Chains A and B, each alone.
Chain A
Amino acid sequence: MTETTSAAGSAKTPAAKFGGRGLNIGIIVAAVLTVIGLVLWGVQLSGGMVQTNMRNLDSWGLYITCFMFLVGLSAGGLIISSAPRVFGMEGFGGISKIAVWTSICCTVLAIGFVVVDLGQPLRLWELFAYSNLGSPLMWDIIVLATYLILSIVYLWATLRFEAGKGSATSLRVISVIALVCAILVHSVTAWIFGLQQGREMWHTALLGPWFVSSALVCGVALVLVVVIALRRAGYLQLDQKNVVKMVKLLGVFVCVDLYFFGCDLLTEAFPAGSGADIAAMLTTGPLALFFWIEVVGCAVTAVIAFTPKLRTNPLIVVGALLAIVGIFCKRVQLLVGGFQIPNLDLPAVVSGPALTDAGAALQSAGGAMVYFPSLLEFGVTLGVVGLGALLLLLGLKFMPLKPVEKSH
């Protein structure tokens, strides 16, 4: 980070207040969380994953939910920062570097969540030695790794360009590649689920585009929250018109995402076959809470985004947070919903060692969810999130991410 001084010097340095003790405390808290997470992961590996609430019937849980969610956050963040440059449009007031940095942090988190979900993390090298190139999971690993490297290159190229080196054309080429890769990374993540004929809820061609629209929703929302927070903390200056531009965009993305959800629900439910069970599970069944939080939350976000009077800073943050929570609820519905209804219509399928005690208790309490995370899973998740926060804050402290004149 040798360019720190030159880049920061060219900014108007409104950030004299920013950075002091608050940031250092944040870094320490995040580091402590990371360490706690690592210890808990050790507990999970040595004592066995029996300490999680995943079982044969619901073989994925909170970790894979978070993985889906974070790939979305990261892809959305990168798309929003690279698209203006790609199409030669006016950007969002120089926030692109921060958007890329948040998206890099989210990518690292997503990879982290896959790793903590593995039973045999020490065998990760096999992915490269015995790659089965037909597996969607393998595609995802390749695309995710490429994507991480590309985002870092993109950030580096942006910093170089702003420091007066490198050409605008080469930066634009890199941003085109990054944009394509960001769309691809989320489509491939969708295919991990969408290509599985054994899970009715997942098996739809819409899943790819739908994942991309959800990524845009929560990616833009996250960037909004981060830049408004950073502006308040005095890290950067940003014209309100740029914020409004992003909020309007968020409104459009939220509507597209809800439209896709509507299309999917209608297609599932209309034939009134087994798909109707899925629609019922979402709207009135065990997953109804998550369904309605998503639908109502996203609708409120759209109202805030499209009503000029409501576009005040606190409400924008509320809307953005509602959108992020809504998309997280969508991930929960997708993951648990995929496992909720077994294909074999035999009562004994869901009994016995297939199900955890937690799952069995929830099920007997009135057809509730087959899966709810254990305390250990929450702890490990918090640790992984701590790692992300640590990266984000270290980046803000040591890297020249503030907008400069040439920024997009």
Chain B
Amino acid sequence: MANQRLGMTIDTKRCIACNSCAVACKIENNLPNNNWWNRVMTVGGDHLDAPEGTYPNVKMHNITVACQHCDNPACVKVCPVGATYKDEETGVVRQDYDKCIGCRMCMAACPYTGVRSFNWEEPAYHLDFSVGDPDVTTHQKHVVEKCTLCWHRLAKGLAPACVEACSARARHFGDFNDPDSEVSQLLSVRSYEQLLPSEGTDPSMYYLV
């Protein structure tokens, strides 16, 4: 079987910026305090639901940003020990916490500011018990981590948590190398954008516009 290129389409016309995907990701992966792998950004301002423009000519526009699982990832090239690597079979960009030496070269290389996060302190949690899937790799201090495309769920044939949680059904998950997949079909009928195409990274996250 040909190699897959797993990724997502995110329909910006359907997204209502409810932040369900960000929260689902945080819970599913038992993310430490202050750590978000998937963030909903408001184009207009710093705060949730900030409008763009000045009254009365205002509009709201949101975009969710997580690891773009690039087909040509900048981070993979620069990692000195191969702790971040592209999985050949699925195209998912992965991160091996046990191997990471904490040099943060990948964070400097990634053009998508902030999708890679470094655990600057011993992971701490607001709850005194773990949440989410027990198969999620334990978080470590002083290593870089990021969206895994819910690798632990892919192994069980499930879609990533953010896709399932999306209340507006704006997210679709699938294989872009398979012309019959839902995501490929969506790309054939809708216009779409990738983030920062000029960087040449060719992300597997497509924003339907």
Contact = CB atoms under 8 A, between A and B. Distances in A.
A338 B46 contact: no
B122 A344 contact: no
A138 interface: yes
Interface residues of A, number: 52
Contacts of A197: 74, 111, 199-200
Contact of B118 (A59, A137, A196, A351): A59
Given A118-B102, A127-B81, A197-B200, A348 B39 contact: yes
Interface in A116-145: 117-121, 123-124, 126-127, 130-132, 134-138, 141
B113 A127 contact: no
Given A45-B142, A130-B99, 8 more contacts: A55-B120, A117-B104, A119-B141, A126-B81, A127-B80, A130-B81, A344-B112, A354-B113
B132 to A, nearest CB: 19
Interface size class of B (residues with CB under 8 A): 35 or more
Task: Name the residue among B80, B195, B200 with the largest chain A CB count within 10 angstroms.
Answer: B80
A138 B80 CA distance: 5
Given A59-B107, A127-B101, A354 B114 contact: yes
A114 B101 CA distance: 11
Interface in B41-70: 41-46, 50, 63, 65
Contacts of A199: 108
A48 B121 contact: yes
Contacts of A47: 121
B108 A60 contact: yes
A118 B142 CA distance: 8
B108 A59 contact: yes
A125 to B, nearest CB: 9
A321 B65 CA distance: 46
Nearest to A342: B113
**Main secondary structure on B side of the interface with A:** loop
A201 B45 CA distance: 25
Interface string A328-351: 000000000011001110111111
A113 to B, nearest CB: 12
Contacts of B121: 47-50
A56 B102 contact: no
Nearest to B50: A347
A164 interface: no
B117 interface: yes
A120 B102 contact: yes
Given A48-B142, A59-B108, A117 B77 contact: no
Contacts of A354: 113-114
B80 A349 contact: no
Interface string B109-135: 111111011101110000000000000
B105 interface: yes
A9 interface: no
Contact of B122 (A48, A124, A127, A349): A48
B188 interface: no
A286 B41 CA distance: 25
Given A127-B81, A136-B78, A347-B46, A56 B116 contact: yes
Contacts of A350: 113
Contact of A130 (B34, B77, B82, B120): B82
Contacts of B109: 196, 198
Given A119-B143, A130-B99, A349-B113, A196 B41 contact: no
Contacts of B196: 343-344
B90 interface: no
A198 B196 CA distance: 10
A141 B105 CA distance: 13
B82 to A, nearest CB: 5
Contacts of B107: 56, 59
A54 B107 CA distance: 12
Contacts of B122: 48
B194 interface: no
A137 B80 contact: yes
Contact of A120 (B101, B116, B200): B101
A57 interface: yes
A344 B42 CA distance: 12
A406 B91 CA distance: 62
A353 interface: yes
Interface in A207-263: none
A51 to B, nearest CB: 8
Contacts of A59: 104, 107-108, 118
Nearest to B200: A197
Nearest to A123: B101
A111 to B, nearest CB: 13
Scoring A49, A135, A343 by chain B CB atoms within 10 A of each residue's CB, the highest score goes to A135
Contact of A119 (B39, B101, B116): B101
A348 B52 CA distance: 13
Interface string A136-177: 111001000000000000000000000000000000000000
Given A49-B120, A55-B120, A126-B101, A344 B82 contact: no
B111 A351 contact: no
Interface string A51-66: 0101111011000000
A124 B101 CA distance: 7
26 contacts: A48-B121, A48-B142, A50-B120, A56-B107, A57-B113, A119-B100, A119-B101, A119-B118, A119-B141, A120-B143, A127-B80, A130-B81, A130-B82, A130-B83, A130-B99, A132-B79, A134-B77, A137-B105, A138-B80, A197-B74, A198-B112, A344-B113, A348-B42, A348-B46, A352-B34, A352-B36
